[in-house]
A and B are shown apart, each in its own frame.
Chain A
Amino acid sequence: MTETDGQVARVIRYGDNVDTDVIIPARYLNTTDKRELARHCMEDLDPHFVSRVRLGDVIVAGRNFGCGSSREHAPLVIKESGIALVVATSFARIFYRNAINIGLPIVECPKAAQDASDGDEMRFDLAAGMLENLSTGTRYSVEPFPPFVQDIIAAGGLARLAQRGGLD
């Protein structure tokens, strides 16, 4: 459970192939300060994202979300912006593992991604495998992560799991 599980979340909708260069342009990567980086989240795709995002919002996107550069700054700025969950038809693999490793909740659910529109309201309970679009009245079941990935999430990220000897 995350602190926003079960709360009503608002959908911010994007399309296919949202790459990590538009999520956080490389020109800002001369710092590791998450707050400073988050001021530029989604800047080259949606310059209004930073002013319209609210704590607990959900990003819903199409295929291959997070493609391109391996920069972990991408899931970090999304998380720092207050996004509670990213739902997509599919994720690029490095973004996928980075999100798991840093504890940004993500869900691959093609049907939910396809049905959602900007501004829809959603509710989710990932532990129960449930995602619901309140605006369309549709419920979706979500595949649980494999046990090892659940261990990473439960530990609060890969580094915490490793710190506790989870990889020894």
Chain B
Amino acid sequence: MGMTRTQKLLARAAGLAEVKPGQLVLARLDRVLGNDITAPVAINEFRAMGASEVFDPNKVSLVMDHFAPNKDIKAATQCQLCRNFATEMGIAGFYDGGEMGVEHALLPEKGLVTAGDVIIGADSHTCTYGALGAFATGVGSTDMAVGMAKGKAWFKVPEAIRVVLTGRLGPMVSGKDLILTLIGMIGVDGALYQSLEFCGEGAESLSVSDRLCVCNMAIEAGAKNGIFPVDDLARAFLAEAGAAPPREVVPDPDATYARTIELDLGAIAPTVAFPHLPENTRNFDEIAALGPVTIDQVVIGSCTNGRLEDLQVAAEVLRGRTVAKGVRALVIPATQKIYLDAMEQGLLRVFIEAGALVSTPTCGPCLGGHMGILAPGERAVATTNRNFVGRMGHPESEVYLASPATAAASAVTGRITNPLDLERL
């Protein structure tokens, strides 16, 4: 029986010629990741196991990004625990302070993931790296602890949904609109226990930044992983980042899929996910019928949309315009490199002159951690990935998920706004 791309990667990592959906396999890991929230639990578990060394200090990454820069004494203590562990275990890949960045933007940028890798991260958005042809999935702290000790993890081999992309995205439409549209179609459990395998000429038309965004939110459809084919664009990205040589696989021609979804990128329109689920998507015809949705905050950043391309689009919208009175607009470059590149390209000036504030990299507001928490009744348009109850602050606040272009346009008007309409307003 033919195997999907994901099944082939898992078979190789498990040392098996073939795997079947539903089969449990023990796979060798190429990387184990944790952050300042999940790693402390894993480190405690690692020690409780009696483990004395990690399987490979070069294959463990610890990124202090959620409550960092340390927001309070408890958060500082968690980071300290991680730092001490990294020193003790000889883990060079410990990222904090001026070396830090939002983990899923940072690892690809540092060349720490490559096509063919099998990666677990104690963070649900670890699925981001599928954009570069890796099998990458989010796990909990115990899996991370065991992964650090043994270099292995157990997986149930998933079936796949094949997503065939055709056409090209229009102006001011991005990977974020694509993935929100898909989640709106299939629901927050539409790909539960399954892979989302993207393919088609439309897939090759997407930038690496868009692919990273799409795979990042595969988990919001319940998927185990999202994955793209490896093409010249992906190879060039990996080479520039200094990643290990790609170990590519292609799906068998006779691979079977749970279902196939075809999407014409040319038909994707700006899309917003309303509270309190990423599947509650609306297009702007539907939003117009609701009447104005006024907002208090805009967040442009996160592992989903804090890359340079996202900031370039936001700056394009904000250039020569100003943030509406009463709206707090936060721009958070996802890594130090992105911050520096945005500075050199003059984007930070555009944001500041428009009346937005620019923060050092952090996950901060995305998870209601710090740096932009919402009060009762407040609404935010965010380029982040979740709009659950209380996600960005008070349980009576609301988060609307959108692309950087839509978020920036909404910052200008003070209500949820189609970036394509901004010229006409």
Q: Which residues of A contact B (CB under 8 A)?
A: 17, 19, 21-22, 25-27, 29-32, 44-45, 63-64, 67-73, 75-76, 90, 92-94, 97-98, 101-102, 146, 148-149, 157-160, 162-163, 167-168
Contact = CB atoms under 8 A, between A and B. Distances in A.
A46 B121 CA distance: 30
Contacts, number: 136
Interface residues on B, range: 35 or more
Contact of B140 (A25, A68, A98, A149): A98
Interface in B108-138: 121-124, 126, 138
A162 B146 contact: yes
Contact of A68 (B124, B143, B145): B124
Among A72, A97, A162, find the residue whose CB has the most chain B CB atoms closer than 10 A: A72
B388 A22 contact: yes
Given A30-B78, A149-B24, A167-B150, A157 B142 contact: yes
A64 B37 contact: no
Contacts of A162: 49, 146, 149-150
A63 B140 contact: no
Interface string B196-228: 000000000000000000000001001010000
B62 to A, nearest CB: 15
B313 to A, nearest CB: 27
Contact of A146 (B24, B40, B389): B24
A159 B50 CA distance: 10
Contact of A21 (B24, B141, B389): B389
A64 B142 contact: no
A165 to B, nearest CB: 10
A119 B237 CA distance: 56
List of 5 A-B pairs having minimum Cβ-Cβ separation, nearest first: A72-B140, A98-B140, A30-B74, A44-B390, A64-B189
Contact of A148 (B50, B143, B154): B154
B337 to A, nearest CB: 26
